[in-house]
Structure 1
Amino acid sequence: MLNLTPKALSPSPFLFNPILAKTLNPNPNTRFTAIPNQFPHQNCKSEYRTERGLEFETGETFFRHESATGRDLGVLAASLYKRSKGQLRVLDALCGCGIRSLRYLVGAEADFVLANDANDEYRSIISENLSRAVPRGFGDERRWSVTHFDANRAMAECYVQREFFDFIDVDSFGSDSSFLRSAMNALKLDGLIYATSTDGYTSGGHRPHQSLAAYGAYVRPMPYSNEIGLRMLIGGAVREASVLGYRVTPLFSYYSYHGPVFRVMLRLNRGKLVDDRHYGFIGYCHHCGNSQAFSWNELGRIRCPCTDSKVSGPRYVVSGPLWAGPLHDAAYLTEMLNLAEQWAWVGSGTGADLEKLLKQMIDESDPKLPFGYIKLDEVASRAKINSPPLRIMMDTLHKEGYAASRSHIASNAIKTNCPMAECMRIAKNLRHSLPC
């Protein structure tokens, strides 16, 4: 067992059990006044920023302002957990400058946050950012603590000392797979894991042996590779959870082009998958442009309906095992949207991007919609016409009885249960009916 002493750069956060502290102002748009700098330091590269009314300093930590939307989603989910359970203990396993920890403390009203980052040179930045809005407190009233361990070591120590958390944020670079099991061990049942991957090259099918090693999935190039990245991450979590006798359920899945960044919010519970069909194989036919999901007992019988031959050659590719089930929980996303409206993050001409994202995710949750998406450029290329307007294409699909929604992952793409051949027919008909 690790011996956490002052020499380890941080007082142990594991030797106490925080209780509910004084409630903070729940309006995340309130601007908080910075307290005097208790941790002075000289850093010419440091920069002050404001996010949702909270001032913080970045120092030399890696920080992306483009990730603010991902942090918004995390705070909304954490706050819903607090409202549902009445308590919220958060572990920010790779906290950087501490902005996520700060936002969980203030925006989600977390009772306690453990802000961990392996780089001990970030200690003053993290502590200063947190103490600006929330005094650390002492003993059972302590609201936050800072440690500097490898993320796996920090989570393993929590597990060993039986200090479990309700919400664990693992915002890592590259593959997140090495942290998944440690996070699950340190999480309470029915708790939430906010997992991350930035490995867009592997999700594109360019390194299938890397995806196999990291997530247990052999990934081949497919036209909706960024959705495959989310399904690869969820599938890896499904595999890790099953080893421990647990199951995970995705509450929402978010892709952002910068990085790229794949983030999924997972709920952990005991037991097996409710539906085994959601963890299987995905096939894509380059000939006809259609995709299919296959279960484990269908291995060896995989073929595309456009041909009578079994899978062979480069025209049909199969990836898996992956998560083939829903990426989002529509009811949960609706709660998040309602909370964002209560906080004035969306509505009345504000927060258009966040509102658009949440509504698109809700639309994507239609159970009639299959995995993957179709880019209208691909439809146009196959039909040898100009790409039809997305809104008109979707309206026509709805009129013909098909389910269709925009994809939050790709701007000129739709999710639909309409086969590619029918999409081509509709696009050709629109070419004749639309004005030149």
Structure 2
Amino acid sequence: MTFLSPKTLSPSPFPLLPLKNPNPKPPHFHPHSPAPNTVCQTEYRTERGIEFDIGESFFRQESATARDLGVLAASLHRKFNGSLRVLDAMCGCGIRSLRYLAEAEADFVLANDANDNYRRVILSNMRRVPRVGEEKRWTVTHFDADRVMTEYYLHRDYFDLIDVDSFGSDSSYFRPALNALKWGGLLYVTSTDGYTSGGNRPYHSVASYGAYVCRVPYSNEVGLRMLIGGVVREASVLGYHVTPLFSYYSFHGPVFRVMLRLNHGMLPEKRHYGFIGYCRRCGHSQAFSWDELGGIDCPCDKSNVSGSGSLVVLGPLWTGPLHTTTYITEMLNLAEQWGWISSGMGLDLEKLLKRMIDESDPELPPGYINLDEVAKRAKVNSPPMKTMMSSIHEEGYVASRSHIASNAVKTNCPMAECVRIAKELNGAE
């Protein structure tokens, strides 16, 4: 029997197992990947002052903000821990790997992509980082991401940050990624399946993330919570728990990105891993623990609402804060030091980080309330966001803007109270 030492041991000095498989399975190419044997063309782009080639690889310029967030988190990790080894498991053209090296000053980056047609363009980009003496700062491989992570785990060669920019609702990499991560390391996970998070394929969400999800007005936030919950479940199986450092939704795609930290021990009393109930009749949302499953109801009609089908229950998924306030604050400070928030694009990053700080208030429940829905229920014109939030605060409730929906507010103020406030603001009876 093979005995695997715990993560506290030093990495194995031995090289990886040969990455040749006598019976290989077909690689999982991205749907936008070029056909095999296609010669990549040169096409240069610039991001944060770094020039790189995208060739004919799949590349989204709109994902620059998600890359900014990843680099900021990686740099903070190196600052506080003294080292940074990164696995970019599905690197595409390699721009993330390049930025981890150039901006976060990673000690080592493994840039992997299953499509070996990207090799020329990845190598072209990685060679822009100069070698420091004889030190090898990066390696490029072209194999299935799960296999690469598993082989590094078997050799006890762990990473400080693993970035998996996957497509769709692929969750098969959760466990091998957690295994290949150091204690206190960062895992940057992805989903692009807005159709499932929107409640259109509830049994698909069960298969991928272990959560039954149906339609609610804040489905894009559910997408983030579903993604976090899937990692929470896998970490619990291994005897660990994870903490969300930030959660980011972008409408293009859509793309759901979450950065989590791996911690020793199980999640205390399954805290923040439970269920969300939404009442279609009154619009009220509420988080429920596992112990409350047998008595879920809604304040609008405790005797009949469950039987009438007005109350829908989603989960299990993450019900706690989407971000860690102190970590986002450190990211904002670093972005200011780097001069990333002094330009037009930078202002968007500053607004995003400040909104995430507001969203991280532990008193805020899951979900958000769209002001158009409030206006519809109140049968009045939609109140201005600032006026509505000011009134909610005056009533003694917590409220913040949502980074996910521009006309929505996150608040512990019940929908019925929001409707009353909206009526009063419009002078309605």
TM-score, shorter chain, exceeding 0.5: yes
| Aligned amino acid, residue 90 of structure 2 | L
Kindly indicate whether residue 123 of structure 2 is the aligned counterpart of residue 108 of structure 1: no
Matched-pair identity in %: 70
Partner of 1:23: none
Q: How does 1:43-62 map to 2 (within 5 A)?
A: 45-62=41-58
After superposition, the Cα gap between the structure-2 partners of 1:99 and 1:306, relative to the gap in structure 1 and judged at 3 Å, is same
Partner of 1:82: 78
Q: How does 1:313-328 map to 2 (within 5 A)?
A: 313-328=308-323
Partner of 1:19: none
Partner of 2:176: 182
**2:188 aligned counterpart, secondary structure:** strand
Match of 2:366 among 367, 371, 380: 371
Instruction: Figure out how many residues of one structure are paired with residues of the other and give that number.
Output: 399
* Structure 2: distance between partners of 1:127 and 1:404: 48
Kindly indicate whether residue 124 of structure 2 is the aligned counterpart of residue 128 of structure 1: yes
Q: How does 1:164-243 map to 2 (within 5 A)?
A: 164-243=158-237
Structure 1 contact 105–134 (Cα < 8 Å) conserved: no
| Aligned amino acid, residue 260 of structure 2 | L
TM-score, scaled relative to structure 2: 0.89
Per the TM alignment, residue 400 of structure 1 is displaced from its structure 2 partner at its CA by 1.9
Partner of 1:251: 245
Task: Give a deviation string over 1:111-144, Cα, whole Å, max 9, x none.
Answer: 0000000011111100110112333875xx1000
Structure 2 contact 40–117 (Cα < 8 Å) conserved: no
Structure 2 contact 229–318 (Cα < 8 Å) conserved: yes
* Structure 2: distance between partners of 1:198 and 1:52: 24
Partner of 2:10: none
Partner of 1:403: 398
Per the TM alignment, residue 386 of structure 1 is displaced from its structure 2 partner at its CA by 1.2
**2:278 aligned counterpart, secondary structure:** strand
Deviates more, 1:92-101 or 1:367-376: 367-376
**2:426 aligned counterpart, secondary structure:** helix
**2:172 aligned counterpart, secondary structure:** helix
Deviates more, 1:367-376 or 1:72-81: 367-376
Partner of 2:5: none
Structure 2 contact 113–141 (Cα < 8 Å) conserved: yes
Kindly indicate whether residue 51 of structure 2 is the aligned counterpart of residue 73 of structure 1: no
| Aligned amino acid, residue 262 of structure 1 | F
Structure 2 contact 305–311 (Cα < 8 Å) conserved: no
After superposition, the Cα gap between the structure-2 partners of 1:349 and 1:161, relative to the gap in structure 1 and judged at 3 Å, is same
**2:316 aligned counterpart, secondary structure:** strand
**1:178 aligned counterpart, secondary structure:** coil
Task: Give a deviation string over 1:385-435, Cα, whole Å, max 9, x none.
Answer: 1111111111111122111110000000000111111111111111139xx
Partner of 2:28: none
* Structure 2: distance between partners of 1:291 and 1:155: 39
Partner of 1:3: 18
Per the TM alignment, residue 176 of structure 1 is displaced from its structure 2 partner at its CA by 3.6
Structure 2 contact 320–362 (Cα < 8 Å) conserved: no
**2:424 aligned counterpart, secondary structure:** helix
Kindly indicate whether residue 292 of structure 2 is the aligned counterpart of residue 277 of structure 1: no
Match of 1:342 among 318, 322, 337: 337
Q: CA RMSD in A?
A: 2.0
| Aligned amino acid, residue 200 of structure 1 | G
Structure 1 contact 234–323 (Cα < 8 Å) conserved: yes
Gaps (5+ residues) in structure 1?
Answer: 8-40
**1:269 aligned counterpart, secondary structure:** strand
After superposition, the Cα gap between the structure-2 partners of 1:61 and 1:44, relative to the gap in structure 1 and judged at 3 Å, is closer
Task: Give a deviation string over 1:37-60, Cα, whole Å, max 9, x none.
Answer: xxxx99574310000111101011
**2:242 aligned counterpart, secondary structure:** strand
Structure 1 contact 104–110 (Cα < 8 Å) conserved: yes
Per the TM alignment, residue 311 of structure 1 is displaced from its structure 2 partner at its CA by 1.9
Partner of 2:380: 385
Partner of 1:423: 418
* Structure 2: distance between partners of 1:100 and 1:348: 21
Gaps (5+ residues) in structure 2?
Answer: 1-15, 23-36
Kindly indicate whether residue 168 of structure 2 is the aligned counterpart of residue 153 of structure 1: no
| Aligned amino acid, residue 174 of structure 1 | G
Match of 1:64 among 60, 64, 67: 60
* Structure 2: distance between partners of 1:310 and 1:414: 25
Structure 2 contact 38–117 (Cα < 8 Å) conserved: no
Partner of 2:30: none
**1:312 aligned counterpart, secondary structure:** helix
After superposition, the Cα gap between the structure-2 partners of 1:178 and 1:6, relative to the gap in structure 1 and judged at 3 Å, is closer
Deviates more, 1:338-347 or 1:67-76: 338-347
Match of 1:117 among 110, 113, 118: 113
**1:432 aligned counterpart, secondary structure:** coil
Q: How does 1:26-45 map to 2 (within 5 A)?
A: 45=41
Partner of 1:298: 292
Partner of 1:27: none
**1:221 aligned counterpart, secondary structure:** coil
* Structure 1: distance between partners of 2:344 and 2:53: 29
| Aligned amino acid, residue 321 of structure 1 | P
* Structure 1: distance between partners of 2:230 and 2:240: 13
Deviates more, 1:393-402 or 1:414-423: 393-402
